[in-house]
Amino acid sequence: MFDRFTYRQKNYGLLVLVVLMFIVSYKRAFSLTFVVQTEIENQELRKADATHAKTDLELLQIQVKQLNKNIGKSDLEPDKVQQEILRTITLFSNEHEVMLDELEATHNYETVDFNIYSNLVAVKGTFNGLLSLAYYMENEFDYARLTNISIYKEQNLTTKKTALYANLLFQHYRQKED
Q: What is the CATH number of domain 78-175?
A: 3.30.70.60
Give pLDDT tens digits for 90-135.
998 888 889 999 989 889 998 877 788 899 999 999 999 999 999 9
* 112-124 core/surface letters (b: 16 or more CB in 10 A; e: else): eebeebbbebebb
Residue 41 confidence (pLDDT): 95
- With 80 as the cut, is the pLDDT of residue 154 above it? yes
Give the separation between CA 164 and CA 178, rounded to whole angstroms: 45
In the chain, where are the structural domains located? 2-71, 78-175
For 4, residues 6+ apart whose C-beta sits below 8 A from its C-beta are none
% of the chain beyond a pLDDT of 70: 94
Residue with more model confidence, 71 or 143: 143
- Which residues is 122 bridged to in the sheet? 102, 167
Band (43; pLDDT cuts 50, 70, 90): very high
Give pLDDT tens digits for 52-82.
888 888 898 888 777 766 665 566 788 888 9
Residue 165 confidence (pLDDT): 94
| 21-25, 27-31, 81-85, 149-153: least confident range | 27-31
